[in-house]
Amino acid sequence: MSMNKMFKKVLAVVAAGAMTMGMAMPTFAAPGVKTTEAWITKTYNTEVGKAETFSFTAEQVKTGTGIITTDAVVTMPTISFTADETGTKSKRGQITFPTYQEAGKYEYTVKESDTVTPAVTNGDHEKMIMSQAEYTMDVYVTDGKNGPEISNIVVNKTKNDAGQTATGKVDISNTDDNDFKFTNTYVQEAGTGTDPTNPDPTYPDNGSLKVSKAVINANGTATTPDDEFVFTATFAFPKGTDANTLGGIKDANGKSVTLGEGGTYTFKLKANANMKFTGVPVGTTISVKESAAKNYKGSAEITINGTKLTPVAATSYNTELTAVNNNEKLGQKQNTVDVTNTYNDVPVTGIIMNTLPYVLMIALCGVALIAFVGFKRRRLQK
């Protein structure tokens, strides 16, 4: 056997042996990324600029297998937001760990405190939606050069903000990927003013939003026909809220208003009537439209958050009027949409009723003239 053939055979045997050993040896997972510090994120939703400070608790678990029960208190951060921070804002705070005296695993249950500073008492016109999120934080301590030291921190989510069961490890780093998170929402009813515990004097009449209807003749005189006009209001609620956040949207009689697909609600108004909505959160984006009405042309004056906007008007009779078009948010102060319809007094023929007698007189004159001409012709022919 040549040396080349023998060398190839030896290589083949070695390769086969290596493959066999590789299959037989146990596979070890790559060690996970370890961290020795932890940060939490507070996300705060508010449309009215409500300054608040949030705090958290880390309760040490004293029962269970393989955990250290010696007292080791963790200091949680407080996270504050100012009155000019509106919309959705997020901030992070770092957790401070004690000097551990014993190596081993320490376990904590991390939650948000039940109250905020200043406190908010949930009522008919305002509400602080507290986070019900809950996490298990495991701190691993090993003997280091200078005594026990943190070697790793692992946090797992056990409940979400709604208090429902959740699972999974979360990122606890000081980055935007951090998911050691608690989300709160402060919501106030629109139209109640700057102090929802003492609503503005206009609130009883206007509620969160009032849509009113008036009808006039072409000469500007008010009238009260029996015609009903169809309106559609559409609501898009701010982040962290929905139609039921403040006990549900209601009408002037306190009856619940059920929204359709896309947050729409259709209602009818006669002259001098109105539709008052209550229970709508500040920051809700609205649209209000009136369907086309035969022989009527609509116009509207709008007040949003106490400020009068540019009036709008349909370009012609028998057309839909868009009073508010999805770009206005209900504010703390007065929110009203006053729609006026002008009656054209035009029948299907297109003849204006006020001039009909004159038209008839001209027509009769024309008929008489034709009859007279015909009579004269017959006489001449004879």
What is the pLDDT at residue 302?
98
Q: What pLDDT score does 16 carry?
A: 46
**Residues with Cβ within 8 Å of residue 319, at least 6 apart in sequence:** 292, 297
**Fold agreement (39-187, 203-343):** yes
Q: Which residues of 317-356 are buried (b: 16+ CB within 10 A; e: fewer)?
A: beeebebbeeebbbbbbbbbbbbbbbbbeeeeeeeeeeee
The CATH classification number of 39-187 equals 2.60.40
Cβ atoms < 10 Å from Cβ of 214: 18
What pLDDT does 14 receive?
A: 40
Domain covering 203-343 assigned CATH 2.60.40.1140 in the classification: yes
Report the C-alpha gap between 209 and 191 in whole angstroms. 7
Place of tokens 């007292």: 71
Q: How far apart are CA 185 and CA 127, in angstroms?
A: 8
Q: Which residues of the chain fall short of a pLDDT of 50?
A: 1, 3, 5-8, 10-11, 13-31, 348, 350-353, 359
Task: Confirm if 174 and 92 have CB atoms less than 8 A apart.
Answer: yes
Domain boundaries, given as residue ranges, for the chain: 39-187, 203-343, 354-382
Q: Is 20 helix (H, G, I), strand (E, B) or coil?
A: helix
Q: Token match 């705060």: residue?
A: 44
Token pair recorded at residue 298: 């609509």
Helix, strand and coil percent figures for the chain, each rounded to 5: 15, 40, 45
Helix (H) or strand (E) holding 360: helix 356-381
Nearest to 183 by CA among 246, 133, 121, 237: 133
